[in-house]
Chains A and B, each alone.
Chain A
Amino acid sequence: DGGITQSPKYLFRKEGQNVTLSCEQNLNHDAMYWYRQDPGQGLRLIYYSQIVNDFQKGDIAEGYSVSREKKESFPLTVTSAQKNPTAFYLCASSTPQYGGGGELFFGEGSRLTVL
């Protein structure tokens, strides 16, 4: 079945450590996104990529980094510079509709807890 796979589902990290969240899709979508979800704050865009080897910052990119070396993969690294990394992270993909209006397909999320 086509879809988006995020791993790990749960992750614990000590302060000062970097951690990488995996996102893989087999929907043949060109565009991919990372959102952060906090209780009562909805979803906020961290980074997005419209095409391989290109990505742009979203609204809250500080303390995060991404790469897009393959169409299927868009890993997110939460660095030690991220001051409050405990959150639920959602990866999504879509066909590239620059006029807007396209549907985003989401993975099941990764819950990161910093101890």
Chain B
Amino acid sequence: AQSVTQLDSQVPVFEEAPVELRCNYSSSVSVYLFWYVQYPNQGLQLLLKYLSGSTLVKGINGFEAEFNKSQTSFHLRKPSVHISDTAEYFCAVTFTGGGNKLTFGTGTQLKVEL
């Protein structure tokens, strides 16, 4: 079975600073990887996903993530954050052939401060 670890439960950062949210996964088979964002009391919205090909994936709102197979990681980055990026971010994984049943990490709360 696959699993996802998000090491940081909270990440405070000042506006216009860069940020990295960490995600590590464990799986014995090939995986697909996702980052979702959740604003307070709302559902989740897809930021980006890695299926195959280029290991650097670009998503919405200026976010990007890099798939590193040797490190089993899929860290999310943004070079300059905005107040509106304050939200909870979830990393998720599904294995190839597993349909769309996602296994989610525990989430990282990003708090952008002035």
Contact = CB atoms under 8 A, between A and B. Distances in A.
Contacts, number: 73
A42 B105 contact: yes
B70 interface: no
A85 interface: no
A100 B90 contact: no
Interface string A14-51: 00000000000000000101010000111111001010
Interface in B23-61: 32, 41-46, 49, 51
A103 interface: yes
Interface of A: 4, 31, 33, 35, 40-45, 48, 50, 58, 90, 92, 94, 96-104, 106-109, 111
A42 B99 contact: no
B94 A106 contact: no
Given A94-B100, A109-B41, A101 B106 contact: no
Contacts of A42: 4, 6, 90, 104-107
Interface in B80-107: 90, 94-102, 104-107
Contacts of B72: none
A90 B41 CA distance: 11
